[in-house]
Amino acid sequence: MREFAEPFRHGWRQAVEVRATLVDFQSPFQRIQVLDTVPFGRMLVLDDAAQTAEAEEYVYHEMLVHVPLLAHPDPRRVLIIGGGDGGALRRVLAHPVTLARQVEIDGDVVRLSRELLPSISAGAYDDPRADAVIGDGVAHLRDTAERYDVLLIDSTDPVGPAVELFGDAFYRDARRALGGTGLLVTQSGSPLVMLDELKAARALLARHFPIVRTYVCSIPAYPGVLWSFTAASEAIDPARIDLAAARSRLRALGAPTGYYTPAVHAAAFALPNFLRAALEMDDDGDPAPLPPPVPGQPPR
Ligand code: SAM
- Could you tell me if 38 and 103 are in contact, meaning their C-beta atoms sit under 8 angstroms apart? no
Please compute the mean of the pLDDT values over residues 49-59 and round it to a whole number: 97
Q: Which of 94, 96, 82, 175 is nearest to 132 (CA)?
A: 82
The finding on whether 53 has its CB within 6 A of some atom of ligand 1 is no
For residue range 202-261, list pLDDT tens digits in order: 999 999 999 999 999 999 999 999 999 999 999 999 999 999 999 999 999 999 999 999
Residues 184, 150: contact at Cβ < 8 Å?
Answer: yes
* 158 in contact with ligand 1, CB cutoff 6 A: no
169 pLDDT band, cuts 50/70/90, is very high
Nearest Cα to Cα of residue 91 among 118, 122, 115? 122
Could you give the CA distance from residue 156 to residue 44 in angstroms, rounded to a whole number? 12
Question: Band of the pLDDT at 281, cuts 50, 70, 90?
Answer: confident
Closest-lying ligand 1 atom to the alpha carbon of residue 29: 16
The predicted structure's pLDDT at residue 294: 61
Q: Find the 125 Cα to ligand 1 centroid distance in Å.
A: 17
Q: Check pLDDT > 90 for residue 296.
A: no
Whose CA is closest to atom 16 on ligand 1?
Answer: 106
C-alpha 222/C-alpha 40 separation (Å) is 11
Distances (CA, A) of 213 to 209, 237, 239: 10, 8, 7
Which mutation among 155, 186, 219, 230 tests ligand 1's pocket best, with the greatest number of atoms within 8 A of CB?
155
For residue 98, the model assigns a pLDDT of 98
In sequence order, which residues have a C-beta less than 8 Å from that of residue 174 and are 6 or more positions away? 141, 151, 184, 208, 232
Please give the number of the atom of ligand 1 that sits closest to the Cα of 165.
23
Report the distance separating Cα 232 and Cα 48, nearest Å.
29
